[in-house]
Each structure stands twice: as structure tokens, then as C-alpha cells.
């Protein structure tokens, strides 16, 4: 018989389980309470700080970069704000959302993103609203929205509730814009990686950038990488950058750059530059640097004018000649033997660029035809017979300030290289003759132009400069005035001789730049043709590469502008008179025609009137004619007794004679201007129809006819100039 089991105490079993669960719950509750206490009283501050660190942080405060302006206020560089715009739907109440969501969708589809229909946009907004709390609180709208577009968006339904109630979020980014494209691009500057070049670099830290390092604002993350300022943006006042006003004339700059570009393309040159300077002040009115890698497309990626010292070639001959003039060794009229354009200095053979067949001539003619042999023989004779004489030559060049940089505002300018007879590694017995024709020396085009500009300015050397003013919030904060580097670089007689020989280069019958001669004004200047690889050519007999240049000033008698043009490594032309001088002439023509300072006044002498100069048969309203003649200082004699008069010239006087105008009768309006004729005829009730322009030469209704007898009230006047 099976053994019977004891009955299970179900009640006790259930109670036991309940007690265990209660004990576990109590222990859990105690642990939770202890943890809460620990967080609240011991770890709370640290956790809050960590939370804020992830959600709220400081970022650098960005401000608008200052503008760069041309001389007349045109924008050369400016900063425009663009925005990434989104919407935080949780900010908007359900009532407002339901009421205006469709209107907002219509505006967004019509003005912001027409890829979606208003209905599709409405669905998109509603979905964003439904996703609140799912970790996607932010709805992206569009990138690269302009300031004007953003202002327009702030008028849309819902978005017009203000920053705190609309949910509209705009993250600003600033972009640097250059309205004139590559015009003076390398001089104005641009960003390269994390740095600037040009004026953007030179005036970055203290002027253009605005806020200094350390200025910041607090922002919070709202998802999708979007950061929103903790404070209202309207309360944040970032310190804006200051503006700089340059000396550049945008019109001269445009002409100079186009002329340079045209020559580079025509001669398929590697690079070139041009600088235009105001003689009296040193203001740079235009500066262009163009280079290429394919001889098809040219860009401003290197500052050839101010940052690249080169052997200038024959344009340096002026400095050598001025040294000779200054020491009294020669005058322009002195005789020199050119040896048919060939000479030898130690073991170095020198030739003139082209055959001229001259032996005996004068110094002036030798310079006019740019004789290498002529200039080299003179300097070799007077400066190469001893160390002291060699030093004297270099001292003269230093007197002309050719050993110093110009201190132009652009960074990267190199110091000129003249050499020294005390440096045997870089000096030889042929250094003097070769230096005198522009080899074994190195200057930037701007440094050479500064020297020529001093000659144009009667010996006063001006510091070239590009920035004339700094402005803060539209008001002038600082002005830069012209700076004199040296009151006089040479004696008055030396400067005069220099101007004479420079004049002959263009005006002389065999001048190397005679092709740019013009009847409107005179130019003084010098061509230059340098072999860029002369050492390599001599040693390895490789083909020559040429640098053509022209530097001068105009008008020659009273210079207003100086200019230098350099064309590097051209495939054709080569000579400075062919590749560079025409560019100079094109720019000079523009400057001369558009600058009143370059023209002689036409009213220096008192005006002498004759019967051939005074206007005859002037008919019109006397008070106006009297005002005109008084203003023009014309001699007249009023013999009339009426308000309408006719002028008749007698000898050197305009006699004003009576012209009767009768009421109710068609007047004689021949020889009147149209305005006076209309005034008279319409006051009599006639309608005027004019044919042509000028003065009235005929009228279809004859004078003297009664107004009442005319059926047609229209009178036709024929005019002719």
C-alpha cells in the first residue's frame, strides 16, 4: 500500500514567497534611495557640469571681417553672411502649429525649396512635429541661405513669432567675396589654407579680422550637429573688423590688367606685371601680377611686382648714367666710341642688342639706342680701375636708394642685391660693366619704379603705398599720408640730364621706344631687354629666355604718373620696346585722357574775342542772354528796349537789338532755340510740333498772321544745328 504524502501548506508557501519579494524590494528601494542621495549630495554637481560640458560649450565669437575698398569707395573685398537654417518644432505650441502649418509650408515651398510641393512640405513639417521626443527634435531646412532670404523667412507664419517662440534656428557662416574677381587679386589678397596673402594678410591682425582670440559665446547642441547660442543673438555684439581704403583706382587697374593680359597672350609669355604710381605722392594706382602654366589661362598667384627681385637689364642703365653725371665724369653731349657695338672686358665679350654701325657718337645717342657697349665702356673707364672706384660706383647706387626695400605694405618684399667689391665670391673684374647694364644686380619691378618715380619727381623719392585710410564703422580712424624717403637722390643737374636722355628714348629718331610716341603728350622712359638665363646660356649654350620691360613717366614735362611693365619669358617679340612698351602706352593713354592734372589749362591767358569767335544772330529772352554773356565774360552792348532781343556782332561786341513780339499775331521765331519758341507760341494758344534739333530755321505758319484766322492751331517748326 502506497505511502501517503503530507498535505502542502499552500498558505505558508505563498506568504514565504511574498516575504522574499518584499525583502528584495525593500533592499532595492534602500539602494535606490542611497544612490539618489549620493547623486544629489555628492555627485550631482560633477554630473551637471559634465552634462553642460556635452550640451553647452564655448566657441570662438565670429565677427564680420572688414572690407577692402578702392580709392573711390568701390568694394574690392567684403564678407557676406550665409546661414544653415533649421526648425525646432517642440518650441511651437500645438494650437499655433495646427493653425499655421499649411501657410508655412506654402511659403517654404514657394520661396525656399521649390523641389517640394506645399502639400509635401506640410507633410514634412507634420512628421517633424510627430518625431518630438524620438531624439530628432531638429528639422533641417536649407544650407547657404543669404541674409536677405533669412530676413524674408522671418516673416513666414510661425517663423514670425520671434527667436524664442518660432523654433527657427540659423547658424551663420561668413564667406569672403571679391566683387571684381581676379582684378588686383594677388595684391588685395585671399586665403591660402589657414593664412592670408596680400593686404588681407598685412592688415589681418590689427584691422580686418575684428574680434581677438579669446572672445567667445556659449552655445548648446540641439541635435544633428547644430549649435544654437544660449543667449539671444541680438544681445551679442561681436566686434566687427575695420575697413581699409586702398589707393587703387579701379578703372586704371582694369585697363592695366587687360593690357597686360593681352600682351601676355599675344607673345605667349609665362608671366608679367605692371605697376602705376602717382608721381607726387607714391600712391599705387594699379598693380597687376599675371602668370600661367599653360600659356592660355592667366591668374594672379604670385607677386612678381613687389616680391620677386630680378636682373632688370637695360632699364638699370639710367642708374649707371646718373652715377656718371653725379660724379661729373660725363655729360649727355660728350663723345663716346661704341666700337660698332662690340667690346671685350677681360675674357667676357659684350655686344649691343642690334647692329647700329656707330663708332663715334655722343652719350645721349648711345642711351637712346640702348647701347650696352657705350654704357659699359664708360663705367668700366671711371669705376673699374681700383677698389675705391668700384666702391664709389656702388655708393652712388646706394645714394639713389637702390639698396633698400620700399617697405610697401605687402609682406614678402626682398631687399635688392647690388653686390660689393669686398665680396670676392660674388665680384669679378667684369662686375662693373655688367652691373651697369642691369646684370649681377637684382631688384623688384616696384623698387626700380620707385627710383624712376624719384627722377620724375625732380629727385624727391616717395615711399610707394597701397592703403590711404582705415575706417571703423564708416568713420575715418587713421589716415596714411605720403612719405618722403629721400628729399633729393641726386643733384639738380643730374636729374635734368636723366630726364633728357629718357625723353630721347621715345622722341629720338632711333629711340628703342619710338613706336609708342604720341602727338597728344610726351613720354619719358627706358626699354629693357634682359636674358633671364644668361649664365646658363654662356656655360651650356642653352636657348636664351628673355625678359622685356619698359619703365617711365608721363607727361614728360610735368609728370603725373610713372609706370613699369615687365613681361617674362615670351615666345615672340622679346624686346622691351615690342612686348612691354605698348602696354605702357595703352595705360598712359587712358590715364592722360581721364586725369585733368595731366593736361595744361586752356585758360591761362585772357580770352581775346573777335567777330569770328562771338556768336551772331542770337535771338531770345534778354535776361537769360545777359546772364549767359556775363558768365562767359563776353563784351556786349544792350541797345534794346524789349524783353525779347536779337544779338548782332559788330567788331568785338555783341549788340542787343529790339525784337518786337505782338499779341494776337504769329511771331517770327526763326533762329530761336526751341524752348523760347515754344514759350512764345504756346502762350498765344498754339500747339507746337518740332522736327529736327538745334535752332528754328523755318515755321509753316508765316509770321505776322492773325492768330484768330488760323484754323489749325498746330504750328510746325523745323530745326537744324
Q: Any idea which residue has 566687427 for its cell? A: 240
Q: Any idea which residue has 609669355 for its cell? A: 269
Query: Are the CB atoms for 259 and 586 separated by under 8 Å?
Result: yes
Query: Are the CB atoms for 654 and 692 separated by under 8 Å?
Result: no
Is pLDDT of 333 > 80? yes
Is pLDDT of 336 > 80? yes
- Dihedral sign (CA 260, 589, 592, 314): positive
Residue 578 to residues 137, 273, 575: CA-CA distances in angstroms?
Answer: 70, 15, 5
pLDDT in tens, 289-324: 999 988 889 999 899 999 999 999 999 999 999 999
Read off the pTM. 0.72
Q: What is the pLDDT of residue 81?
A: 82
Q: What is the pLDDT of residue 187?
A: 92
The rounded distance, in Å, linking the Cα atoms of 212 and 715 is: 76
Q: What is the pLDDT of residue 612?
A: 55
Number of helices (H), then strands (E), belonging to the chain: the values are: 22, 30
For range 369-378, the mean pLDDT:
96
Q: What is the pLDDT of residue 435?
A: 97
**Cα 459 to the center of its chain, rounded Å:** 29
Q: What is the pLDDT of residue 218?
A: 63
For range 274-280, the mean pLDDT:
98
**Cα 418 to the center of its chain, rounded Å:** 33
Q: Which three cell numbers stand for residue 195?
A: 593664412
Percent of the chain with pLDDT over 70: 88
pLDDT in tens, 601-612: 666 666 555 555
Query: Are the CB atoms for 494 and 326 separated by under 8 Å?
Result: yes
For residue 349, report the phi and psi dihedrals to the nearest 5 degrees: -95, 135
Q: Which of 30-39, 40-49, 267-276, 661-670 has the lowest mean pLDDT?
A: 40-49
Is pLDDT of 45 > 70? no
The rounded distance, in Å, linking the Cα atoms of 461 and 485 is: 5
The rounded distance, in Å, linking the Cα atoms of 248 and 288 is: 11
Is pLDDT of 206 > 80? yes
What is the length of the chain? 721
The rounded distance, in Å, linking the Cα atoms of 186 and 273 is: 11
Q: Which three cell numbers stand for residue 462?
A: 616717395
Q: Any idea which residue has 553642460 for its cell? A: 52
Nearest CA to 167 out of 182, 181, 179, 153 is that of 153
The rounded distance, in Å, linking the Cα atoms of 223 and 16 is: 51
H/E element holding 166? helix 163-166
Q: What is the pLDDT of residue 59?
A: 54
DSSP state for residue 430 in the 8-state scheme: T
pLDDT in tens, 454-495: 999 999 999 999 999 999 988 999 999 999 999 999 999 999
pLDDT in tens, 251-276: 999 999 999 999 999 999 999 999 99
pLDDT bin (cut points 50, 70, 90) of residue 112 is confident
Q: Which three cell numbers stand for residue 65?
A: 571681417
For range 199-205, the mean pLDDT:
91
For range 522-535, the mean pLDDT:
92
The rounded distance, in Å, linking the Cα atoms of 166 and 154 is: 9
For residue 53, report the phi and psi dihedrals to the nearest 5 degrees: -65, -35
The rounded distance, in Å, linking the Cα atoms of 713 and 682 is: 10
Is pLDDT of 55 > 60? no
Residues 6+ apart with CB under 8 A from 405: 413, 414, 415, 416, 447
The rounded distance, in Å, linking the Cα atoms of 33 and 400 is: 90
pLDDT in tens, 612-658: 566 666 788 888 888 888 888 888 888 887 888 887 777 778 888 88
The rounded distance, in Å, linking the Cα atoms of 614 and 634 is: 8
Percent of the chain with pLDDT over 90: 48
Domains 68-246 and 252-598 share a fold: no
Q: Which three cell numbers stand for residue 687?
A: 500747339
Q: Would you list the domain boundaries of the chain?
A: 68-246, 252-598, 618-720
In the beta sheet, which residues pair with residue 621? 644
Nearest CA to 435 out of 461, 397, 386 is that of 397
Residues 6+ apart with CB under 8 A from 385: none
Query: Are the CB atoms for 76 and 178 separated by under 8 Å?
Result: yes
Q: In what order do the strands lie in the sheet with 695-699?
A: 687-691, 714-720, 695-699
Considering only residues 2 and 659, tell me which one the structure prediction assigns the higher pLDDT: 659
Nearest CA to 140 out of 113, 165, 118, 120 is that of 113
Write b or e for each residue in 159-168: b if 16 or more Cβ atoms lie within 10 A of its Cβ, otherwise e.
bebebeebbb
Write b or e for each residue in 500-534: b if 16 or more Cβ atoms lie within 10 A of its Cβ, otherwise e.
ebbbbbbbbeebbbbebeeeebbbbbbbbbbbbbb
3-state secondary structure 35-55: HHHHHHHHHHHHHHHHHHHHH
**Cα 545 to the center of its chain, rounded Å:** 32
DSSP state for residue 502 in the 8-state scheme: H
Q: Any idea which residue has 508557501 for its cell? A: 13
Q: Any idea which residue has 534794346 for its cell? A: 640
Phi-psi region of 189 (alpha: psi -120 to 50; beta: other; left: phi over 0): left
Peptide bond into 555 cis (omega under 30): yes
Q: What does CATH list as the number for 252-598? A: 3.40.710.10
pLDDT bin (cut points 50, 70, 90) of residue 703 is confident
H/E element holding 251? helix 250-267
Burial of 706 (0-12, 13-18, 19+ CB in 10 A): exposed
The rounded distance, in Å, linking the Cα atoms of 295 and 263 is: 12
Query: Are the CB atoms for 316 and 452 separated by under 8 Å?
Result: no
The matching CATH number, chosen from 2.40.50, 3.30.420, 1.10.3470, 3.90.1310, for 68-246 is: 3.90.1310
pLDDT in tens, 392-431: 999 999 999 999 999 999 999 999 999 999 998 999 999 9
Q: What is the pLDDT of residue 235?
A: 47
Q: In what order do the strands lie in the sheet with 644-650?
A: 618-621, 644-650, 653-658, 636-638
The rounded distance, in Å, linking the Cα atoms of 653 and 268 is: 64
Q: Any idea which residue has 642688342 for its cell? A: 353
Amino acid at each position: 500500500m502506497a505511502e501517503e504524502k503530507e498535505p502542502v501548506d499552500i498558505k505558508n508557501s505563498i506568504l514565504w514567497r511574498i516575504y522574499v519579494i518584499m525583502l528584495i524590494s525593500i533592499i532595492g528601494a534602500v539602494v535606490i534611495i542611497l544612490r539618489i542621495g549620493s547623486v544629489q549630495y555628492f555627485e550631482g554637481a560633477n554630473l551637471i557640469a559634465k552634462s553642460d560640458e556635452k550640451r553647452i560649450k564655448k566657441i570662438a565669437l565670429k565677427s564680420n571681417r572688414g572690407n577692402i575698398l578702392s580709392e573711390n569707395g568701390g568694394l574690392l573685398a567684403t564678407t557676406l553672411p550665409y546661414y544653415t537654417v533649421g526648425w525646432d518644432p517642440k518650441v511651437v505650441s500645438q494650437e499655433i502649429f495646427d493653425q499655421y502649418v499649411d501657410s508655412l509650408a506654402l511659403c517654404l515651398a514657394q520661396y525656399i525649396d521649390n523641389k517640394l510641393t506645399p502639400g509635401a512640405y506640410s507633410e514634412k513639417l507634420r512628421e517633424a512635429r510627430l518625431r518630438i521626443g524620438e531624439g530628432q527634435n531638429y528639422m533641417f531646412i536649407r544650407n547657404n541661405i543669404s541674409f536677405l532670404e533669412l530676413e524674408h523667412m522671418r516673416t513666414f507664419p510661425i517663423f514670425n513669432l520671434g527667436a524664442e517662440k518660432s523654433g527657427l534656428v540659423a547658424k551663420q557662416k561668413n564667406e569672403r567675396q571679391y566683387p571684381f574677381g581676379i582684378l588686383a587679386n594677388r595684391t588685395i589678397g585671399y586665403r591660402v589654407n589657414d593664412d592670408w596673402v596680400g593686404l588681407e594678410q598685412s592688415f589681418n591682425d590689427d584691422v580686418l579680422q575684428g574680434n581677438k582670440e579669446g572672445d567667445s559665446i556659449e552655445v548648446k547642441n540641439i541635435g544633428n550637429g547644430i549649435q544654437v547660442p544660449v543667449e539671444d543673438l541680438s544681445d551679442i555684439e561681436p566686434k566687427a573688423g575695420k575697413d581699409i581704403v586702398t589707393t587703387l583706382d579701379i578703372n586704371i587697374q582694369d585697363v592695366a590688367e587687360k593690357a597686360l593680359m593681352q600682351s601676355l597672350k599675344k607673345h605667349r609669355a609665362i608671366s608679367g606685371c605692371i605697376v602705376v604710381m602717382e608721381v607726387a605722392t607714391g600712391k599705387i594706382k594699379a598693380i597687376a601680377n599675371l602668370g600661367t602654366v599653360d600659356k592660355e589661362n592667366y591668374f594672379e598667384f604670385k607677386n612678381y611686382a613687389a616680391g620677386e627681385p630680378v636682373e632688370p637689364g637695360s632699364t638699370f642703365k639710367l642708374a649707371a648714367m646718373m652715377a656718371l653725371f653725379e660724379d661729373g665724369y660725363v655729360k649727355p653731349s660728350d663723345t663716346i666710341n661704341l666700337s660698332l657695338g662690340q667690346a671685350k672686358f677681360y675674357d667676357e665679350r659684350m655686344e649691343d642688342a642690334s647692329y647700329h654701325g656707330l663708332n663715334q657718337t655722343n652719350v645721349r645717342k648711345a642711351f637712346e639706342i640702348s647701347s650696352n657697349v657705350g654704357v659699359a665702356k664708360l663705367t668700366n673707364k671711371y669705376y673699374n680701375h681700383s677698389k675705391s672706384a668700384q666702391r664709389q660706383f656702388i655708393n652712388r647706387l646706394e645714394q639713389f636708394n637702390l639698396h633698400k626695400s620700399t617697405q610697401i605694405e605687402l609682406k614678402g618684399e626682398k631687399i635688392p642685391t647690388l653686390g660689393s667689391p669686398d665680396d670676392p665670391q660674388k665680384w669679378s673684374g667684369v662686375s662693373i660693366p655688367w652691373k651697369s647694364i642691369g646684370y649681377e644686380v637684382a631688384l623688384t619691378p616696384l623698387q626700380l619704379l620707385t627710383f624712376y618715380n624719384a627722377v620724375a619727381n625732380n629727385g624727391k623719392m616717395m615711399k610707394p603705398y597701397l592703403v590711404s585710410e582705415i575706417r571703423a564703422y564708416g568713420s575715418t580712424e587713421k589716415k596714411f599720408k605720403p612719405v618722403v624717403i629721400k628729399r633729393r637722390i641726386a643733384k639738380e643737374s643730374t636729374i635734368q640730364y636723366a630726364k633728357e636722355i629718357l625723353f630721347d628714348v621715345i622722341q629720338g629718331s632711333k629711340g628703342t621706344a619710338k613706336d609708342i610716341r604720341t602727338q597728344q603728350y610726351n613720354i619719358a622712359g627706358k626699354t629693357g631687354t634682359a636674358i633671364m638665363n644668361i649664365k646658363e646660356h654662356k656655360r651650356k649654350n642653352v636657348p636664351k629666355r628673355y625678359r622685356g620691360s619698359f619703365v617711365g613717366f608721363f607727361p614728360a614735362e610735368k609728370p603725373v604718373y610713372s609706370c613699369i611693365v615687365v613681361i617674362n619669358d615670351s615666345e615672340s617679340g622679346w624686346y622691351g620696346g615690342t612686348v612691354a612698351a605698348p602696354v605702357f602706352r595703352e595705360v598712359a593713354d587712358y590715364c592722360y585722357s581721364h586725369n585733368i592734372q595731366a593736361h595744361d589749362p586752356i585758360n591761362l591767358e585772357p580770352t581775346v574775342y573777335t567777330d569770328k569767335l562771338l556768336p551772331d544772330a542770337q535771338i531770345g529772352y534778354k535776361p537769360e542772354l545777359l546772364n549767359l554773356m556775363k558768365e562767359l565774360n563776353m563784351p556786349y552792348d544792350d541797345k534794346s528796349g524789349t524783353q525779347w532781343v536779337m544779338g548782332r556782332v559788330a567788331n568785338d561786341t555783341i549788340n542787343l537789338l529790339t525784337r518786337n513780339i505782338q499779341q494776337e499775331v504769329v511771331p517770327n521765331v526763326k533762329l530761336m532755340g526751341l524752348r523760347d519758341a515754344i514759350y512764345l507760341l504756346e502762350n498765344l494758344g498754339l500747339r507746337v510740333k518740332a522736327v529736327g534739333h538745334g535752332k528754328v530755321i523755318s515755321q509753316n505758319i508765316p509770321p505776322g498772321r492773325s492768330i484768330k484766322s488760323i484754323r489749325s492751331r498746330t504750328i510746325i517748326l523745323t530745326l537744324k544745328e
